Amino acid sequence: MIKIAPSILAADFCRLGADVDEVQAAGADYLHFDVMDGIFVPNISVGLPVLKSLRRATDMFLDVHLMIDRPQRYAKAFCDAGADLVNVHVESDTEENILHALAAVKKCGRKVGVTLKPRTEAEAILPFIEYCDLVLVMTVEPGFGGQRFMMDQLPKINRIRGLIERYAPRCELEVDGGVDVDTAPLCVKAGANVLVAGSAVFGKTDRAAAIRAIREKTK
């Protein structure tokens, strides 16, 4: 079954706990937590203290997306703060240091993923795939919620599905950016099994209905 991962970037941070409870009750599978440092991406979001609070407030699976430069520096800290899975961008450091970041997460007993920006080719996952529990494909330029889904990423999603099947069949394939009722089915058709949705879930008044609608369309 397809997993839905609402992104808290579109939630109301003044009532984050209640927002999270609402999507959990509506059947969301993961909670997507976007971390931005103002360097790797031109925006700043939330970080360790918010993750720590969230960890105390919910038992949901916390899928942390690090959009930060040299994530190796903070991989363990995000695990300690309560991440269940930590995604690092392949573009955020050297191959060697990315491997160190993945190893640090594994050492904490958490799951790990690598993430690709839209202009990064599918094969960039190859040095890391054997260690990964998940590959995250960005379908917008990372940094902001509410952007338009990039259709030209669909062939890449499909190509990554092929690489996963070949090298790491248990690895999940997640997509992030502009995913809504219309684009979700295209992602699933291309091979994705985890759908991040910010505006399309937290941006709606009736979050339960929003999740149901995405689920319906991806059955």
Q: Which residues are annotated as catalytic?
A: 34, 176
Sheet holding 30-36, edge to edge: 3-6, 194-197, 172-176, 134-138, 111-116, 85-89, 61-67, 30-36
* DSSP annotation of 42: S
> How near is the Cβ of 165 to ligand DX5 at its closest, in Å?
25
Per-residue contact flags (x/-) with ligand DX5 for residues 134 to 153, judged by CB under 6 A: ------x-xxxxxx------
Which positions from 102 to 141 touch ligand DX5 by CB under 6 A, shown as an x/- string?
--------------------------------------x-
Which partner from the list Zn ion, ligand DX5, none does 131 bind, CB cut-off 5 to 8 Å by kind? none
Instruction: Assess contact for 54 and 16: CB atoms under 8 A.
Output: yes
- CA 204 from centre of chain: 20
Residue whose beta carbon is closest to ligand DX5: 198
CA nearest neighbour of 159 among 176, 182, 135: 135
* Residue facing Zn ion at closest CB distance: 65
Instruction: Supply the minimum distance, in Å, between the C-beta of residue 174 and Zn ion.
Output: 9
Residues touching ligand DX5: how many (CB under 6 A)?
A: 22
Query: In terms of Cα–Cα distance, which of 28, 126, 51 is closest to 20?
Result: 28
65 counts as binding Zn ion under rule CB under 5 A: yes
Collapsing DSSP to helix, strand or coil, 203 comes out as coil
Binding pattern for the stretch 24-63 against ligand DX5, x by CB under 6 A and - elsewhere? --------x-x-----------------------------
Q: Which of 33, 176, 201, 210 binds Zn ion (CB under 5 A)?
A: 176
Enumerate the H helices of the chain as residue ranges. Answer: 16-25, 48-57, 75-80, 95-107, 154-167, 184-190, 207-217
Find out whether 153 and 118 touch, Cβ atoms under 8 Å.
yes
Site residues for ligand DX5 per CB under 6 A: 7, 9-10, 32, 34, 65, 140, 142-147, 176-179, 196-200
